[in-house]
Amino acid sequence: MIHHLTNHDYKVMPWKNGGGSTTELAISPPEASVESGFDWRISLADLDGSGPFSAFPGFDRIITQISGEAMTLRHAGRTAILLARNEPYSFEGELATDCILHGRAQDFNVMTRRGLAATVECLTIDTEPLRRVHKSGTTFIWVVFGSVMLHESSKGHDHRLDLHHAFEITGDYESVMTLKPREPDTLVFFVTITP
């Protein structure tokens, strides 16, 4: 299954505590929601200041700050962590977590039910094409900055991914994805989720 997603496909929803909003990029299964149960979810969070994170017991989280003022995460009983721009940070969803933020910021989030394996890579594509192979589970590509042409081998199709577009491929089959930058210093996030 292959999806090319644009801004029109995403869902925007406010936080329950009023501290920001979330743009849901993808969720599995597709009919799931945060309230009704899901296996994994990929989203953007717009933060308007300091405040607590919602707890997600039984889930693992990977958060990557992409813009804004410096964000510090403080977990109960642990040392506070200053997030570095475009560097993924993992933690357990049940941890009581506060964000310390003097200003506004945006971050990229991946949440997976415990037992699934997830990775996030932040990759700059300058002049040379970038290749990645999908074999099973889900591969999700999101354009943070710039734009790319993506060739997907299983269908033989080309996809133009502009700013904030995404490409999702799910299933147990091999596909070679070749990304060619349309702008210098294009930045993409590669997410892989496997059982």
> pLDDT, tens digit, for every residue of 28-48?
999 998 888 899 999 999 998
- Percent of the chain at pLDDT > 70 equals 98
Please say whether the beta carbons of 94 and 112 come within 8 A.
no
Rounded Cα distance between 176 and 151, Å, is 8
Which tokens hold the place of 158? 């080309």
State the Cα–Cα distance between residues 48 and 21, nearest whole angstrom: 9
Q: Does the pLDDT value for residue 18 go beyond 80?
A: no
Strands 130-134 and 175-181: antiparallel
* Residue pair 113/61 in contact by the 8 Å Cβ criterion: no
- pTM of structure: 0.94
54 is written with which tokens?
């919602």
State the pLDDT at residue 37: 87
Name the DSSP letter for residue 35: T
Q: What is the pLDDT of residue 48?
A: 87
